[in-house]
Amino acid sequence: MSLEKGGIIKHDISKSPKTGDWAYSKPQVDKDKCIGCETCVQYCPDACIEMVKHKKDIKKKADIDYDFCKGCGVCAQVCPVKAIVMKK
């Protein structure tokens, strides 16, 4: 399977494996720190981060879908303002 198909799989939920309770850690986004740069979206290997605009926000902020997040920690590593923290 090519990388491109892997990226698309999320859009067909019936083909996409959900993360089990084996996940060791979860990323948590500090919405006040997030500057909406979308770096984490580009690097997430599971394509499970979306940019969402909440009513009070001017910019869209990162929102993580925990049904598919594997807890790899890449998003926390690449965030330029350290807005993502991995919690056990």
Would you count residue 52 as binding ligand SF4 (CB under 6 A)? no
Which one of 10, 16, 73, 85 is in contact with ligand SF4 (CB under 6 A)?
73
- Find the Cα–Cα–Cα–Cα dihedral 56, 57, 62, 65, rounded to 10°: 20
CA distance 49 to 65: 6
Q: In whole angstroms, give the CA distance from residue 73 to residue 25.
A: 8
- What are 20's two structure tokens? 């089990």
Cβ–Cβ < 8 Å for 69, 36: no
The whole-angstrom distance between residue 23's C-alpha and the CA centroid of its chain comes to 14
Question: Considering only residues 10, 16, 36, 85, which one is a binding residue for ligand SF4 as defined by CB under 6 A?
Answer: 36
Select the residue interacting with ligand SF4 from 16, 37, 50, 63 (CB under 6 A). 37
Contact flag: residue 74 with ligand SF4 (CB under 6 A): yes
| Interface pick for ligand SF4 out of 9, 10, 39, 63 (rule CB under 6 A) | 39
Give me the residues that bind ligand SF4 (CB under 6 A), please: 27, 29, 34-40, 44-46, 48-49, 62, 64, 69-75, 79, 81, 83-84
